[in-house]
Structure 1
Amino acid sequence: MTVAPAPLALPDSAWEDWVATRCDGRLAETRRLVEELRAGGHTSAEAMALWNDLNLALHNAFSTASLVSNVHPEEAVRTRAERAEQDAHKLLTEIGLDRPLYDVLAAVDPADLDEGGRRVHALAIRDFRRAGVDQTDDVRSRLRELAERETTVAQEFSKNIRDDVRSVRVEAAALDGLPADFVEAHPPGEDGLVEITTAYPDYVPFMTFCRDREARAALVGEFLNRAYPQNDPLLHELLGLRREHAQLLGYDGWPSYDAEVKMIGKGSAIPEFIERITEASDAAGHRDAGVLLRRLQQDHPEVEQVTAVDRMFYAEVLRRETFDVDAQQVRPYFDFARVRAGLLAVTGRLFDVEYVEVPGAASWHEDVATYDVVRGGARLGRIHLDLHPRTGKYGHAAQFDLAPGIRDRQVAEGVLVCNFSRNVMEHDHVVTLFHEFGHLVHHVLAGNHRWTRFAGVATEWDFVEAPSQMLEEWAWDADVLRSFATNADGDPIPRELVAKMRAAKEFGKGTHVRTQMFYAALSYTLHQDVPDDITATLRELQERYDVFGYVPDTHFYASFGHLEGYGSGYYTYMWSLVIAKDLFSAFDRDDLFATEVAHRYRDRVLAPGGSRDAADLVADFLGRPYGFEAFQRWLDRV
């Protein structure tokens, strides 16, 4: 009888020692398995089983190191985890350049393997080639140096963003127009001034409701200059390292190297996609921006273009004046505790799972809530929700792996890392919570594979956002929201208010898409061209693709964390959205919990993980290849 694996035993204390023991132990196990595999004498099936074990040990080391370096409250623990992540990257590079190891795998006969084994084998051979295993000794040596330095620079780039929380001090009168709970949480200091930080629980409400334009300008200047100037030389170096890395392998630049393993297929297709989306959203983007500018000029006739100083504030003004939606009227319905409970109830019903809280579970911080994900009495995985800001913590919103789920071996564990208010949430943050939880449930539902390569969110990188973008739709549905969005008196959010919120959302989609194309163009162009003057390139691309203007003397790229993780591939956000709109077209908007389609989506798109190409998963669910039509209809709808 097979005994179900237990979740990972996290420590109550001594985290630095635990990180060292777990990560160093997994890396030592990886090295041992490399040597065993290199020794030869294995059947094809045995060789692939060892390769699978090797990858599982390495994945476990990476997962622990990456998570802890981003969430632990003690700097010494984060630093130890960063060192473990560097060690893991170094070992991954060594494996990719290990010619004797490659020769063992190249000798495996795919005919002796099952379908999953053949896929894992083909992907492994491809990855060895991309690592440079067939290059000369000198080239392999340089590739090793480049990879190690890329890891170090990328880590420092991300750390600077994470640690650089800035602030402004404003007159108490600048809080006029802010929600009462925000004002209460920001009392004046002894000097009579109020401190407002660039952390999202401060930044978003302040930029949305503050009537003092000078105060908004001061905060946005600090926000757009986070991690500057320290990240400027680091980004220059990282871009140069990546370009040399790609060119040593025979590619014209990093985008071509990076895109080869994505749905898009080739680097030259990225600017083509950016231009297609830019053209498709041109009318909607300029229409929406024009409306914002005209309203802004009623108060400030001298202003010629909307920028980040005014964008959020006047979008809220228009929601009130044009769509009769007042965010302060909306906010009382989104108490954090009720939203979190509602999220679990909604996704539990949709995917036929139950979330069972694990009281007293050990974790890295008292804010973390831990749940087992259960179906039919069997534990599918475990999730950890770390949802409030603190010093030294990852500053945005993301899902982190803690452990990949491997059938009969280890439980899938994932962590949601966000920075939401402890009290009342903005609806935009509710949407973000649903989005990021989509990654988390994907990780768990795809956690029953034999092969490590297939576990969790293991599809092509330009598909991984699609399931999460689609789950956002449930955060805009009146029936769904009314199941948990209630005010202090217990009254559910009115349907009429949700309808107005949706209408206001439709207004801003054109500007949103154009801004996303600016980000995509920036990520691609920096990696393809590697310009000397990044600020000048940023300004040029913003003028070309965005409908909002550049804020003088700011350096947004220094805190654009996706340049580290997404590299040249930020286009993937919009590529995924095109697919997400097509996926959602299969659901009944009048019954988002319809069992047949929800379970078919769960079983054919999420649960397979990386066992099939993303295009095949989508075609299996839709009954046809994905298309552009649903996205275009959404974009054109007024």
Structure 2
Amino acid sequence: MTPLALPTADDAQEWVEGRTRDGLAAARELVEGLRSDPPADPLALLRQWDEVSRHLSNVAATASLLANVHPLEGVRTTCEQAELEVDRYVTELRQDRRLFEVFAAASADGLDPVAARLLTKTLDDFRRAGVDLDDEARTRLAQINERLTEVGQEFGRNIRDDVRTVRVPAARLDGLPQDWLDAHPADEDGLVTVTTDYPDSVPARMFVHDAAVRRDVTVAFLERGWPENEPLLHELFALREELARLVGYADWASYDADVKMIGTGPAIPEFIDRITDAAAEPMRRDLGLLLERYRRDVPDAGWIDSADASYYEELVRQERHDVDAQQVRTYFDFGRVRQGLLDVTARLFGISYVAVPDAQVWHEDVTAHDVVRDGARIGRIYLDLHPREGKYKHAAQFSLVDGLAGRQLAEGALVCNFSRGLMEHDHVVTLFHEFGHLVHHVLAGSGEWTRFSGVATEWDFVEAPSQMLEEWAWDADVLRTFALSPSGDPIPADLVARMRAADDFGKGYQARTQMFYAAMSYRFHTDRPSDLTAAMRELQARYSPFAYIDGTHMFASFGHLSGYSSAYYTYMWSLVIAKDLFSAFDPGDLFDAAVAGRYRDRVLAPGGSRDAADLVADFLGRPYTFDAYAAWLAR
């Protein structure tokens, strides 16, 4: 099997158009065969249907990636149109009664458990698409699905393209690392431009001594996507509600939760409140320390907001734990971190990475690596790790090709926005986290079925393997293999220990902040407030430790309202599982081959072929519990 041959920049638009046209044509031909002369054998029926899924997935995955990373706007627009075409056709298929009747007549008798699972999931897809409704309702559902794709694309585009700037005299940037200042010379007016991209805004909010500059950068960051995205969100929530009710659910959250581990919509606020209660005492403890330090500079302050929180967190960590983030970042040169990540994950998962310098990529920043296991190539990964105009602004793994045994290699891309020089350790952790999704995609790319390939588990489990991989970015012995000072000395173990202690500071109020986001994603969908700003302020006051900043509209750039919809709780749900998964590893030997191999083969490699709860129980030897997370949060 050979990797996908990507196009040159000049050929990209024509290539996307051709790939879309050919992929859809192949799928339509197979579907026509299913309608006119379906295989009598259920397994043969499922294999033909899986070929349809493979063709559509190949078109959609390529389009999704290039729509978010390609430097040419025309190519991005063409890719967005390709996504629309695929979504439109998928809706058409799932509402096709003739097709539904073909699958409904198929018997699961004699099928292996994974094939039987695929048949069940396929029938569920038809029902959730409204296949049993009348013509008028199905037509409306098709219109809703198409418009949802359009609104989601516009919402994401507004966030991606809205890079705001703050221009300030260089003298007001005192406190920033020298390498940051060197990379941001003043212009002819004597002003330095700070953008809302992460490599600019995160250091500015953490290190700049001037509170007014920190506030200006924070406000600019929180205002991205507003006001354009507010009406889009209202439309998004209304369309999702209408869709859910048309197919028989109480609301969108119930529709969405029905295919997740949590099971029901009402279970979401119950989980949010459980975490809120568990985090209450740790939040009070840590917030008290933060306010104590803040009041030394702002006497009689009754609260603190996000414009000052990162800066004063750093001061607390320096003063109470002797951890200076600017000193820490000198150990994390981007090039060494990237190579360290590859070395660590190769050792952990029993694989290797082979650079492919002549691979065609979409931008000169992108690198390609083949993933090899037992001497055979099992996939290819692309690393696109620095910000640029027109590129996706956060950090995520994008699938490019779903791996299928004997049919096609697993390929994916890691898309991030890191500094080219020194990295904050938080960003190192983020890199490990996102790479966890990428390696999961590749390792789960040797199954039979497109539906279950890669990161195809329930969406409230999908973060757990990545959250667990973060632990390797906190281990002193692991870090010493790539975290070196400018003179080449490994990071001291005692510094890592202090970093861990410092990182524990704030986890209570960070959990509460996550519950604010989770409550917002849920309540915006179930309550559908007419005033999103007022609703956000009420939820922030209830859940978050940090005060609202007047005049800001953070929800407009909260991209998870599109992708995760009402289910942002999934990050914390996954973290509960991740802490339990990690309990199986020996902290003194994180590379134990037996444990790591069992984890790779029982949790990652199966992809979505089994329920996530069963994968976890198979690895742990018992069902997962809340205990490990509760103990971590309380300590």
Shorter-chain TM-score range: over 0.9
Other-structure match for 1:408? 406
C-alpha separation in 1, matches of 2:396 and 2:240: 24
Other-structure match for 1:607? 605
**Residue 249 of structure 1: which of 244, 247, 250 is its match?**
247
**Residue 21 of structure 1: which of 18, 22, 34 is its match?**
18
Other-structure match for 1:576? 574
Other-structure match for 1:12? 8
| SS of alignment partner, residue 488 of structure 1 | coil
Tell me which stretches of 4 or more aligned residues in structure 1 moved more than 4 Å: none
Other-structure match for 2:303? 305
- Alpha-carbon shift at residue 12 of structure 1 (Å): 2.3
CA contact (8 A) 2:163 2:196 kept: yes
| SS of alignment partner, residue 111 of structure 1 | coil
Instruction: Summarize the alignment of residues 46-65 of structure 1 with structure 2, pairs less than 5 Å apart.
Output: 46-65=44-63
| SS of alignment partner, residue 108 of structure 1 | coil
Other-structure match for 2:146? 148
**Residue 29 of structure 2: which of 27, 32, 35 is its match?**
32
**Residue 223 of structure 1: which of 218, 221, 224 is its match?**
221
- Alpha-carbon shift at residue 41 of structure 1 (Å): 4.1
Instruction: Summarize the alignment of residues 504-519 of structure 1 with structure 2, pairs less than 5 Å apart.
Output: 504-519=502-517
Other-structure match for 2:556? 558
C-alpha separation in 1, matches of 2:474 and 2:330: 16
Other-structure match for 1:338? 336
| Aligned AA (2:405) | R
Instruction: Summarize the alignment of residues 408-447 of structure 1 with structure 2, pairs less than 5 Å apart.
Output: 408-447=406-445
C-alpha separation in 2, matches of 1:567 and 1:28: 31
Instruction: Summarize the alignment of residues 76-225 of structure 1 with structure 2, pairs less than 5 Å apart.
Output: 76-225=74-223
- Alpha-carbon shift at residue 303 of structure 1 (Å): 3.0
C-alpha separation in 2, matches of 1:21 and 1:368: 24
C-alpha separation in 1, matches of 2:573 and 2:113: 29
| SS of alignment partner, residue 505 of structure 2 | helix
C-alpha separation in 1, matches of 2:186 and 2:581: 49
RMSD (Å) for aligned C-alpha atoms: 0.8
CA contact (8 A) 2:305 2:548 kept: yes
| SS of alignment partner, residue 309 of structure 1 | helix
Is 1:529 the equivalent of 2:527? yes
C-alpha separation in 1, matches of 2:166 and 2:375: 51
Residues 55-107 of structure 1, C-alpha deviations (whole Å, 9 max, x = no match): 11111111011000000001010000000001111111111111111111111
- Alpha-carbon shift at residue 112 of structure 1 (Å): 3.8
C-alpha separation in 2, matches of 1:509 and 1:310: 17
Q: Percent identity at matched positions?
A: 61
| SS of alignment partner, residue 268 of structure 2 | helix
C-alpha separation in 2, matches of 1:629 and 1:164: 42
- Alpha-carbon shift at residue 113 of structure 1 (Å): 2.3
Other-structure match for 1:361? 359
Q: Which runs of 5+ in 1 are unaligned?
A: none
Is 1:322 the equivalent of 2:326? no
C-alpha separation in 1, matches of 2:111 and 2:81: 37
| Aligned AA (2:455) | V
Other-structure match for 1:282? 280
**Residue 496 of structure 1: which of 494, 506, 516 is its match?**
494
CA contact (8 A) 1:388 1:418 kept: yes
C-alpha separation in 1, matches of 2:607 and 2:486: 41
C-alpha separation in 1, matches of 2:358 and 2:364: 10
| Aligned AA (1:9) | A
C-alpha separation in 2, matches of 1:305 and 1:30: 58
C-alpha separation in 2, matches of 1:453 and 1:171: 54
Is 1:42 the equivalent of 2:42? no
CA contact (8 A) 1:316 1:326 kept: yes
CA contact (8 A) 2:405 2:448 kept: yes
TM-score (norm. length: structure 2): 0.99
C-alpha separation in 2, matches of 1:602 and 1:594: 12
CA contact (8 A) 1:110 1:121 kept: yes
| Aligned AA (2:379) | G
Other-structure match for 1:479? 477
Other-structure match for 2:454? 456
C-alpha separation in 2, matches of 1:31 and 1:585: 48
CA contact (8 A) 1:397 1:418 kept: yes
- Alpha-carbon shift at residue 270 of structure 1 (Å): 0.1
| SS of alignment partner, residue 421 of structure 1 | coil
| Aligned AA (2:557) | S
Q: Which runs of 5+ in 2 are unaligned?
A: none
Residues matched between the structures, number: 633
CA contact (8 A) 1:289 1:306 kept: no
| SS of alignment partner, residue 8 of structure 2 | coil
Other-structure match for 2:543? 545
Residues 515-574 of structure 1, C-alpha deviations (whole Å, 9 max, x = no match): 000000000000011110000000000000011111110000000000000000000000
Residues 422-447 of structure 1, C-alpha deviations (whole Å, 9 max, x = no match): 11111000000000000000000000
CA contact (8 A) 2:114 2:610 kept: no
CA contact (8 A) 1:256 1:266 kept: yes
C-alpha separation in 2, matches of 1:126 and 1:217: 49
Other-structure match for 2:592? 594
| SS of alignment partner, residue 264 of structure 1 | coil
- Alpha-carbon shift at residue 302 of structure 1 (Å): 4.7
C-alpha separation in 2, matches of 1:27 and 1:492: 53
| SS of alignment partner, residue 333 of structure 1 | coil
- Alpha-carbon shift at residue 304 of structure 1 (Å): 2.0
| SS of alignment partner, residue 170 of structure 1 | strand
| SS of alignment partner, residue 330 of structure 2 | helix
